[in-house]
Structure 1
Amino acid sequence: MSAASRAPLRSNRTAARVRRRAALTTGAAVAALLVSACSSGGTSGGGGQTGFITGSDGISTAKRGERADAPELSGKTVDGGQADVADYRGKVVVLNVWGSWCPPCRAEAKNFEKVYQDVKGQGVQFVGINTRDTSPGPARAFEKEFGVSYPSLYDPAGRLMLRFEKGTLNPQAVPSTLIIDRDGKVAARTLQALSEEKLRAMLAPYLAEGSTDAKPEK
């Protein structure tokens, strides 16, 4: 085989190696993010964390004025629809990361639906992020079993979770629960399954907050 004919083969092999390295890098990033996946607890933050504190109850909070913007979170839902967290600006958003394969997620699911039904008339929206379910079928079965009525974005590879900046109140385990305030900023996070009482306590401080974008009444 001549040198000229070997050159395209070398080029093809090089391109294939680059693609494999890129895929491995993405997979490693997702695996690192979910290293404590499906645990009943976890540690908050990471290198360079700033602007928030973690209480003895395992809930991390950021003061108003020191909260990071929530990233763009939109896409296809478990039931085949579409959802965009930005559409709920002006409401308090409870964001729950879950998987049908995760026992702690199953333990807390009914608690989330119960609280959602109680507070949805108070300017609150619940949104799930379903992750690491390789097809929507098990996730839909999970929602049916536990009567989950709020939307869940379908994110099998965990790419939505990677949109949160390192060092902020980002989801780092399954389950994770975040509170996004009425201004679209991440106000609180926990990396543990929540009882009904603990979820209510986590949410309560933000129900009374108004949006800083709200116009004063005349």
Structure 2
Amino acid sequence: MRPRAGSVRRYRGVRAVVAGLLGILALAGCSTGGDAVARGGDFQFVSPGGKTRIFYDPPADRGRVPELAGESLMEPDKQVKLSDFAGKVVVINIWGSWCAPCRAEADDLQRVYEATRDSGVQFLGIDVRDFDRTAAQDFERNSGITYPSVYDPSGRTLLALKGYPRNVVPSTILLDRQHRVAAVFLEPLLDSDLKPAVEKLVAESA
């Protein structure tokens, strides 16, 4: 028995909608295989072969990030903006108090910040998926973190980095003094991993 023409049209319509939704989800998802590409401003994020440590060289080929801004975690009435740190090397760390690897790397990040801040380095945290603000604030205090963080439970701040894999937490982005992306780490870091990369950018700028 052949299906009625109306049923066929409805089936084709549903199939087209499902295909469209799958396409949108595929574009929005984080690639775990081959090359992942994302754009933000003129910055193009590329992870060749799924690498978790990506370096962008030479400097002339680096992409600049757009403005990143949001509400301060510790001072709710204050806005924190990337442009507040003009002319500085900036280390952006994406973290959450719920994230065990974030807790593990917190001391390492603070040590590198203390060791490099006098040479023109600024750290900036972006706190994501922490819908209990108090828990995130307690994490900062207990970890002895002294650099600012943007409170961004929904991850809206990172939309400026179009397509950046926001589901990878923790991750760290290194910006040179022109706020071009010099390196991306899609994994937890030790101070021995991070400090040489930061010092390289400081020396490069000099």
Corresponding residue to 1:163 among 156, 160, 173:
160
Amino acid at match of 1:197: S
Q: TM-score normalised to the size of structure 2?
A: 0.74
* Alpha-carbon spacing, 1:95–1:138, altered in 2? closer, same or farther (3 Å): same
Deviations, residues 130-184 of structure 1 (Å, cap 9, x unaligned): 0000131111000011000000001110111121034xx7655110100011001
Match of 1:174 in 2: 169
Match of 1:184, SS state, is: coil
Deviations, residues 18-43 of structure 1 (Å, cap 9, x unaligned): xxxxxxx9xx98xx56x69xxxxx77
Residues 1:132 and 2:129 are matched in the alignment: yes
Residues 1:195 and 2:185 are matched in the alignment: no
**Counterparts of residues 1-218 of structure 1 (less than 5 Å):** 46-47=36-37, 58-63=52-57, 64-79=59-74, 80=76, 81-166=78-163, 173-210=168-205
Amino acid at match of 2:196: A
* Alpha-carbon spacing, 1:55–1:146, altered in 2? closer, same or farther (3 Å): farther
* Alpha-carbon spacing, 1:199–1:47, altered in 2? closer, same or farther (3 Å): closer
* Alpha-carbon spacing, 1:60–1:44, altered in 2? closer, same or farther (3 Å): farther
Cα shift at 1:59: 1.6
* Alpha-carbon spacing, 1:57–1:164, altered in 2? closer, same or farther (3 Å): closer
Gapped runs of 5+ residues in structure 2? 1-20
* Alpha-carbon spacing, 1:72–1:100, altered in 2? closer, same or farther (3 Å): same
Gapped runs of 5+ residues in structure 1? 1-24, 37-41, 212-218
Cα shift at 1:54: 5.9
Cα shift at 1:210: 2.1
Q: TM-score normalised to the size of structure 1?
A: 0.70
- Shift >3 Å, 4+ stretches: 42-45, 47-58, 169-172
Partners of 1:170 and 1:189 within 8 A in 2? no
Partners of 1:73 and 1:85 within 8 A in 2? yes
Match of 1:86, SS state, is: helix
Aligned length: 175
| Alpha-carbon RMSD | 3.0
Cα shift at 1:52: 5.7
Query: For 1:65 and 1:176, how far apart are their aligned partners in 2?
Result: 24
Match of 1:214 in 2: none
